[in-house]
Amino acid sequence: MVSRVIPVKPFDLVIFGGTGDLARRKILPGLFRRFRAGQMPAGARVIGCARTAMDDAGFRDIARAAIAEFGGPERSDAAGLAAFLDRLAYVPIDVTGEDGWRDLAALVRADVVRAFYFSVAPRLFGPIAERLHLHAIADDDSRIVVEKPFGRDLRSAQELNAALAAHFGEGQIYRIDHYLGKETVQNLMAVRFGNVLFEPLWNNHYIDHIQITVAETVGVGGRGSYYDGAGAMRDMVQNHLMQLLCLIAMEPPARFEADAVRDEKLKVIRALQPVDPQDIVFGQYSGAPGSPSYRDDVENPASTSESFVALRCRIGNWRWAGVPFYLRTGKKMKARSSEIAVVFQKLGHTIFDEDMARHRNILSIRLQPNEGIDLQVTIKDPGPGGMRLLDVPLDLTFAEALGDQGEPAADAYERLIMDVIRGDQTLFMRGDEVEAAWAWTDPVIAGREERGDRPQPYDQGSAGPDDALMLMHRDGRRWRDIKG
Ligand code: BG6
């Protein structure tokens, strides 16, 4: 297959929090893969910054260990790894003080693309932005990359936006939602807007409802204190599920171009109706033999934070009037499975002697694992015995369909970092989008607090609390099975 990868220019990528968890798990191994793919041109450098006093060699050791632990099969390429590590430098820095900034200013070059990755706590975004500006390390063409959580409510998100806007234009700010970097999430746009088949049916005349599920088997891991202060609503729904909802529901943008796409996403969020308290279920996983409960995991015996949410929401516009969107996400569930299912309406009239309500076309977009798309269609049950109908998937599993020609799927982070260097903001959240998402989320969280709703316990390895099943059953529908 002829590679159509868009080339990047030489760059200096500065990672604040360069020795932290995200840098070690995702950023450094991802950059090594891009390096091997020929996407770090001669002259491209990665500069780690953190508080620890250390020299370049110390940082390279950290990167080597991180790639050995979190990298893929490419980590056995010793020569490649040595060449990649040569591109790494390190500057010890005090991000809220003055130490180290002059050294960084001396190192960062003016004649290459300059990108600054804020892989640090959000309270440090403002101080770093200010110092980059003060020491003239960044200019009007530089890019900054910030991670979630981008605020914990509308007000804090506005404060963060204002702190960044004091020194950088919106066109320079890349807010990461790593779900947008996933291959199949982008495929969602390719399928919708690259085929004649779907768009004519993509509305309330043909679609009965849409389900979005992001189920995880992991618990809260070592992030208990952050997670317990956030809960699934802030950790997953406000950002990742909201982004999926936007891509599935947005109007076709005039072009596949950053602001055209983001304008359409913003309209979806703004059209979201408030969630009725009857339409939302919060859950918390219980303990199981040999496996701690949520409360044990977060070391908070009285925690009422949710590790699961299921909700029904509606988009108040012409396209989607009357079409419910069911969203659910949870930890310690029966399988790791993220899927968007577009369930089409039943036939208006049938010529067959069967209950056609049982036969539905369902377009299912599997984000992970086993990325792919399938379309459930009704066919004749093969063999003699009369005209009986059967639903089968037209399955397009990407790994099979693309065979040997497919490039190994890049991790979301490496794809997004390269987009930063290219200056393409399409897969990043704009400030107004994030604020609109919080404006919708805040009343949901506040309403729950006012009502004092406690999360429903659910068994580990299940599909969540029973009430989540009821959310669908009462509408005469059912959730798709969660299959890994
Ligand atoms: C993160 C959340 O943003 O996404 C985590 O903070 C969650 O709680 C993770 O586990 C899920 O990402 P992925 O790519 O594994 O689906």
Q: Give the single-character DSSP code of 319.
A: T
- Structure confidence by residue, pLDDT tens digits, 262-311: 999 999 999 999 999 999 999 999 999 999 999 999 999 999 999 999 99
Q: Give the single-character DSSP code of 281.
A: E
Q: What is the pLDDT of residue 355?
A: 79
Q: Same domain for 120 and 218?
A: no
Taking the centre of ligand 1 as the mean of its atom positions, its distance from the CA of residue 390, in whole angstroms, is 37
**Percentage of the chain modeled with pLDDT above 70:** 96
- Would residue 479 count as lying in a domain? no
Length of the chain: 484
Q: Same domain for 187 and 143?
A: no
Does residue 119 have a pLDDT over 80?
A: yes
- Would residue 6 count as lying in a domain? no
Three state DSSP letters for 437-474: HHHHHHHHHHHHHHHCCCCEEECCCECCCHHHHHHHHC
Cβ(411) to ligand 1 under 6 A?
no
Cβ(208) to ligand 1 under 6 A?
no
Contact 270, 242 (CB under 8 A): no
Does residue 248 have a pLDDT over 90?
A: yes
Q: Same domain for 118 and 255?
A: no
Cβ(177) to ligand 1 under 6 A?
no
What are the residues whose beta carbons fall under 8 Å from the beta carbon of 195, sequence distance 6 or more? none
Q: pTM for this one? A: 0.94
Which of 88, 122, 147 is at the close of a domain? 147
pLDDT band (50, 70, 90) for residue 353 = confident
Taking the centre of ligand 1 as the mean of its atom positions, its distance from the CA of residue 240, in whole angstroms, is 9
Q: What is the pLDDT of residue 375?
A: 93
Q: What is the pLDDT of residue 483?
A: 87
- Would residue 160 count as lying in a domain? no
User: How are beta strands 308-313 and 173-175 bridged, if at all?
Assistant: unpaired
CATH code: domain of residue 299: 3.30.360.10
Q: Same domain for 400 and 355?
A: yes
- Would residue 91 count as lying in a domain? yes
Which of 101, 130, 147 is at the close of a domain? 147
- Kindly state the average pLDDT of the residues 205-215: 98
Cβ(216) to ligand 1 under 6 A?
yes
pLDDT band (50, 70, 90) for residue 2 = very low
Choose the residue to mutate in 147, 236, 416, 434 for probing ligand 1, maximizing ligand atoms within 8 Å of C-beta.
Answer: 236
Q: Same domain for 73 and 141?
A: yes
User: How are beta strands 280-285 and 45-50 bridged, if at all?
Assistant: unpaired
d(CA 270, CA 438): 11
Does residue 4 have a pLDDT over 70?
A: no
Domain residues for the domain of 102 are: 11-147
Residue with tokens 């998402």: 437
Q: Same domain for 41 and 184?
A: no
- Would residue 26 count as lying in a domain? yes
Q: Same domain for 283 and 344?
A: yes
Ligand 1 atom index nearest CA of 338:
16
Cβ(414) to ligand 1 under 6 A?
no
Q: Same domain for 460 and 335?
A: yes
Please report, in angstroms and rounded to a whole number, the separation of the first and last CA atoms in the chain.
30
Taking the centre of ligand 1 as the mean of its atom positions, its distance from the CA of residue 353, in whole angstroms, is 46
- Structure confidence by residue, pLDDT tens digits, 167-192: 999 999 999 999 999 988 888 999 99
Q: Same domain for 372 and 232?
A: yes
CATH code: domain of residue 22: 3.40.50.720
- Would residue 264 count as lying in a domain? yes
Average pLDDT of the chain? 93
Cβ(147) to ligand 1 under 6 A?
no
Taking the centre of ligand 1 as the mean of its atom positions, its distance from the CA of residue 317, in whole angstroms, is 30
Cβ(12) to ligand 1 under 6 A?
no
Number of domains the chain is built from? 2
pLDDT band (50, 70, 90) for residue 371 = confident
Q: What is the pLDDT of residue 7?
A: 76
- Would residue 419 count as lying in a domain? no
Q: Same domain for 311 and 388?
A: yes
Which tokens hold the place of 467? 């009430």
Choose the residue to mutate in 180, 213, 235, 308 for probing ligand 1, maximizing ligand atoms within 8 Å of C-beta.
Answer: 235
Q: What is the pLDDT of residue 408?
A: 55
Taking the centre of ligand 1 as the mean of its atom positions, its distance from the CA of residue 65, in whole angstroms, is 23
- Would residue 158 count as lying in a domain? no
- Positive or negative CA dihedral for 48, 49, 55, 58? negative
pLDDT band (50, 70, 90) for residue 1 = very low
CA-closest candidate to residue 45, choices 88, 85, 90 = 88
Residue minimizing CA distance to atom 2 of ligand 1: 235
Active site members? 240
Neighbours of 61 (CB within 10 A): 12
- Structure confidence by residue, pLDDT tens digits, 69-96: 999 888 889 999 999 999 999 999 999 9
Taking the centre of ligand 1 as the mean of its atom positions, its distance from the CA of residue 412, in whole angstroms, is 12
- Kindly state the average pLDDT of the residues 117-142: 95
d(CA 73, CA 78): 11
Q: Same domain for 252 and 356?
A: yes
Q: Give the single-character DSSP code of 418.
A: H
Cβ(433) to ligand 1 under 6 A?
no
- Structure confidence by residue, pLDDT tens digits, 14-56: 999 999 999 999 999 999 999 998 889 998 999 999 999 999 9
- Kindly state the average pLDDT of the residues 116-121: 96
Q: Same domain for 101 and 201?
A: no
